[in-house]
Structure 1
């Protein structure tokens, strides 16, 4: 009888014995239960924090998303996005195109009757947008006028855009959307919206969104008393109707009336301006384009057109709004700035506000931020995020392993093939890239002999070992810089809103340790991102310069690292006895 047959019979006999003896109990462990050090049992099948609602891990059917009439189901969409749900690409593009069709039929200058609720910047803060509607009223019963900047900087820009567009499709005559300076290809490519679209959907969705931006109206006359736009007035704007003469269905230019409506600001000393000041418009150095307008310029515009005030957005406000100097004729604020993104960039700690106007009564309602799901910068996944931490530890281990070698071990003869050494040298050069010059081959000044071969082998061996240690040092420093950046993610976000600042790697974590304790400090730190972004070619040049400076900084750091240099000398100066 074969051993396999014997084993089978033994197993069958054991099973029969177990079946005949009911008292035998087989204990099995539930591997889905994890027992912590303090004895607490945690199920790996359930959520760690039950207070955090699970995400909607499905994409809705067309029957769920669209009503029988074909318009989006805004109640379903609202809840689906609150659970971080996503749509299909076809559904997303369908909503974007439906909104474009509705918006393209509207004039450049809207006529918005009262009562109405006026809102400022949203900047991708979807959970705060839902809070805004709780404060301002249900769009079903309330008219709204949004002043632009629905996308960029926040992590939920596409959700904000789709939800606002869906409401516009549902209530086209009472829900109004104006264009902001961020509703363009140039800014969304530079900041976070394009990256978000590519991460959550596709390039086709991003292109459809950019097409929809070109259909957004530019300004509105609210109750025939208030001129509303995103940025402000322009030296080319004599009367509001001038806006209807320009072609808005395009990417905004960097100068001219269309640019000014989206980009202009009041001068810093607006409230100190008097009618005696001759200046009306000055170049806007903060934005790098357009103009800054004075109190006199706004007063002249209001008087010329028999208007009461200019209402705009475009600038973060600590209280969510700001009323500027009153006009002498009407005694009403000549300018009003609204900002509806609370705790902007999760850093400003500002309040948000909406303006409710009706029956000639202006009521401003403030609200605070709403907690939202966290996203790593640039929509990075946790594995990519953790790579610098792991890499730094691995290089530390390599250095530690090299440190434990004794002098006797270093003196032991370990013959190496020259071809292997040469390939190793080339590999080291590949690892560090341009961080160090490639190892030059040893030039023979005498005819090849066995003695020269031996010298070359020793030279190559020493050089290879030294380059290896220095390469490890460079990689270690690179991972250290990236790890320090990761630890300072909040500092990084407050400076950039998700965009890696040029040169931020060069100073390690010290360049990112800016303690933000007030609204003004946060605004000052973020000032660089208020400018018109550089062109694509300029960005490439900046990146190239940053990379070169980073490589030099890392190289200098390794040369100053006494531990790495000591190891390099220790290994390369070993005797290599024959």
Structure 2
């Protein structure tokens, strides 16, 4: 098929028709854009959308994108986890890459823990690519994933990332200097993708997710927020049946935006309004 990015975004049912040649073309065009983006993307906006995990659920992603385009938002930040587990993993990531090509300045695709070979080996994406193309073709995606930014700072006071705060992360600026890695070995980067907030604890405690992953308490967040003038942290990474959860007296918002998951979810996204309100919205 002829590659028409605008048509793909407007008619997402065609995204499944992409072959290896067309996917390579999309990746080759979007890679230079991602390479130029800082690892901490800064946004000064009036109106922006925040999107949690979509996990191959193209049927949830497409109405979110329609809303973004129709309502003329200044930007949209996807908080990671575009692949693994879902029924349309390849279609979902390709659709978002096409959207990034169409609106490179407004669309931010953050890296999640499922944009790593570690997760993709166990949760389905490598097998999905192998069954449709080849195991070697997965390398096209894994290299691309390594260029995705790790966090975004909105209006200097809303920090967006996939997982959570990390041991050794004292300032937001440190994120700018984190390395580009396909297999994530840097401990701070690893924790940004994997850590979770938890009520009722202090400091960092080991997580049941695995080695090198931690829960962090309210004290960790409050100290970091005070030192970096952060008003909110918006993240994803955890599934909630109602699609969202507030931590630490409504200072951390966790979003999950895939309706079709291992369990049914009342998926949610969030909107920052020109009045400065942070509102949770059904998908």
Pairwise TM-score range, normalised by the shorter structure = over 0.9
69, 77, 87: which is aligned to 1:145?
77
Task: Please say if residues 158 and 230 of structure 2, whose CA atoms lie closer than 8 Å, have aligned partners that are also in contact.
Answer: yes
Q: Deviations over 1:517-541 (max 9, x none)?
A: xxxxxxxxxxxxxxxxxxxxxxxxx
Gaps of 5+ in 1: 1-59, 274-278, 327-332, 368-578
Residue 280 (structure 2) pairs with residue 364 (structure 1): yes
Q: Which residue in 1 is equivalent to 2:243?
A: 320
Q: Deviations over 1:178-231 (max 9, x none)?
A: 000010112212221111112222334311011100100001111211111000
Q: Which residue in 1 is equivalent to 2:95?
A: 163
Q: CA RMSD in A?
A: 1.8
Gaps of 5+ in 2: none
Q: Which residue in 2 is equivalent to 1:126?
A: 58
Q: Which residue in 2 is equivalent to 1:296?
A: 219
Task: Please say if residues 93 and 205 of structure 1, whose CA atoms lie closer than 8 Å, have aligned partners that are also in contact.
Answer: no
260, 266, 278: which is aligned to 1:351?
266
Q: Which residue in 1 is equivalent to 2:19?
A: 88
TM-score, reference length from structure 2: 0.93
- Output the CA distance in 2 between the equivalents of 1:177 and 1:365: 20
Task: Please say if residues 299 and 334 of structure 1, whose CA atoms lie closer than 8 Å, have aligned partners that are also in contact.
Answer: no
Secondary structure of 2:208's aligned partner? coil
Residue 124 (structure 2) pairs with residue 201 (structure 1): no
Residue 257 (structure 2) pairs with residue 340 (structure 1): yes
Q: CA shift at 1:99, angstroms?
A: 1.7
Q: CA shift at 1:78, angstroms?
A: 1.1
Task: Please say if residues 110 and 221 of structure 1, whose CA atoms lie closer than 8 Å, have aligned partners that are also in contact.
Answer: yes
- Output the CA distance in 1 between the equivalents of 2:138 and 2:260: 26
Query: Relative contact order, CA 8 A, sep 6+: which one is greater?
Result: 2
Q: CA shift at 1:77, angstroms?
A: 5.2
Secondary structure of 1:179's aligned partner? coil
Pair 140,99 (structure 1): closer, same or farther in 2 beyond 3 Å: farther
- Output the CA distance in 1 between the equivalents of 2:225 and 2:10: 43
Task: Please say if residues 9 and 98 of structure 2, whose CA atoms lie closer than 8 Å, have aligned partners that are also in contact.
Answer: no
Task: Please say if residues 51 and 270 of structure 2, whose CA atoms lie closer than 8 Å, have aligned partners that are also in contact.
Answer: yes
Q: Which residue in 2 is equivalent to 1:218?
A: 150
Q: CA shift at 1:155, angstroms?
A: 1.6
- Output the CA distance in 2 between the equivalents of 1:231 and 1:210: 19
Q: Deviations over 1:476-513 (max 9, x none)?
A: xxxxxxxxxxxxxxxxxxxxxxxxxxxxxxxxxxxxxx
Higher strand share: 2
Higher helix share: 1
After superposing on structure 2, the runs of 4+ consecutive aligned residues of structure 1 that deviate more than 6 Å are: none
Q: CA shift at 1:140, angstroms?
A: 8.3
Pair 214,75 (structure 1): closer, same or farther in 2 beyond 3 Å: closer
Q: Which residue in 1 is equivalent to 2:42?
A: 111
Pair 340,165 (structure 1): closer, same or farther in 2 beyond 3 Å: same
In our comparison, the structure showing a higher alpha carbon Rg is 1
Task: Please say if residues 117 and 182 of structure 2, whose CA atoms lie closer than 8 Å, have aligned partners that are also in contact.
Answer: no
Task: Please say if residues 187 and 212 of structure 2, whose CA atoms lie closer than 8 Å, have aligned partners that are also in contact.
Answer: no
